Chain A
Amino acid sequence: MVMLLELNEVLIEGERQTSSMMAYAGELTCLTGGTATRRTRWLLAMQGFIPVTHGCICIDGEPLTTASSPVMRKLISYSPSRLCESGEVTTYKPPTVQDVFSLRQNRDIPISNGILGEEVRRIGADADDPRVQLLAVAVLLNRPIVIVDDPPVEAGAYLKQLTAKGKLVVVATGDDRLLAFADKVAELL
């Protein structure tokens, strides 16, 4: 059975318009329109971090609820556009690659500087861009669904390659050049 991420007339907290979307495994689905913040909120809603006030988000036919989202997240890896503190936090350190791969659930996944470097090289974007490393980490977690927020435009071909491996890839972007790689485009109103 092909994995499916479905948004059915979904309204999330803080939004005024509902959205619908069907993303299948083996396809690159782009979420566009609206502001970057709104797109990020929709991606977070797909992982159960923003409450759904109307409609239903389903993964493989199973509705994403507050109770089911911790289990559903095991199918997802997420690459945010940035990781930083918002406000005054003394000695804030963003999570490192080691932090992610030393989590109990990820301990068995092989990781080394060589593996990470190779994945970063495959992405084909500027390696100094923090989004590239976050994307490489999300891919190396090897989950069936990869959710990417605002990736660099050079990563378009790489994201398309991921779908060839059977991944369900959802990308939020405002860049038309990335939309050229998409199999499906969902536009926020």
Chain B
Amino acid sequence: MQISDISFWGVGVAVMLMAVMVGLFYVIDRRMLSRIFRVLAYVGASLAVTALVMWAVMSLDSWWADLLWVLFVGCTVSFLILRKAHLSMKSFYLPLALSVLAGLGISVGTMFLLTPVAHSLLILSVMGVVAGQMFFSVSLALKTYVSSLRHTTEHYQYMLANGASHVEAIMPSVRRSLRASLLPLFRNTVTPLVVVPPLFFCGLLMGNVSPLSAAVIVFVLMMLVWTSCVGATLLTIILADRSLFDASGRFVC
């Protein structure tokens, strides 16, 4: 869709409706108004920046621009995940960034096999969905992992002291973490999809993709998202292990 296709009448009606809603809050709850404006400004600015960057990447339509964008998204999502989970950047950033990039790469690569779409378009859209889900899933998983290790030290030491290898001793925490990585993803899928279809599905319909093809693409993408989130969590745990435990197996984070 080009900018010239947007009807100013439609935009005008939406702005009017928004003004009515704001007016309602002005009457019944003025304290909420500043919040509404702050969020509107934030979303508007973010969307503008995102649109400009994506427009640039799509206009360039070259492999290095795509690669730069993948790297930027992977590194930024890793930073945001760690900030949300309140975890140490020093211990986790590099392992997490590598895991997230691996997850994004595998998801985008698999989608290339599935759909004959222009490279940049596919990379931008698939990576957006996967990175968005990873943000919620991996942050909860890593937070759960570290919290579990901190709160079950007696259990961990008991197992190590009585013959467990390092992997055997941390396994209950790994299990808790992987379970936590899937829970936010399941939460999105338990809504009745007939009346609340996924946003990506709606986007595909608006892009003139047939409903059946859209359903297949969304289903495959969902499988990739689940796999990427669990895989990124597991890979981060493996790669960060050396900075979380010393040579004697003591948890030092």
Q: A67-B248, A69-B248 known; A83 and B163 CB under 8 Å?
A: no
A82 to B154, CA, bound (A): 8
Rounded to whole Å, the gap between the CB of B40 and the closest CB of chain A is: 36
Cβ–Cβ < 8 Å partners of B165 in chain A: 103-105
Cβ–Cβ < 8 Å partners of A78 in chain B: 157-158, 161-162
Interface size grouping (class) on chain A: 35 or more
Q: Please report whether the interface of chain B is mostly helix, strand, loop or mixed according to DSSP.
A: helix
The reply to whether A77 and B161 contact each other, CB–CB distance below 8 Å, is yes
Cβ–Cβ < 8 Å partners of A74 in chain B: 163
The reply to whether B162 and A48 contact each other, CB–CB distance below 8 Å, is no
The reply to whether A49 and B157 contact each other, CB–CB distance below 8 Å, is yes
Which one of B157, B159, B161, B246 has the greatest number of beta carbons of chain A within 10 Å? B161
Interface size grouping (class) on chain B: 20 to 34
The reply to whether A137 and B147 contact each other, CB–CB distance below 8 Å, is no
Stretch at the interface among A91-99, A115-123, A161-169, A172-180: A91-99
Q: Which residues from chain A sit less than 8 Å from chain B, CB to CB?
A: 44, 47-49, 51, 65-67, 69-70, 73-74, 76-78, 80, 82-95, 99-100, 103-106, 137-138, 141, 147
Q: Which residues from chain B sit less than 8 Å from chain A, CB to CB?
A: 147-148, 150-155, 157-166, 168, 172, 176, 246-250
Besides A66-B246, A69-B248, A70-B247, 11 other CB < 8 A contacts? A49-B160, A69-B247, A80-B158, A86-B152, A88-B151, A89-B147, A95-B158, A103-B165, A104-B165, A105-B164, A105-B165
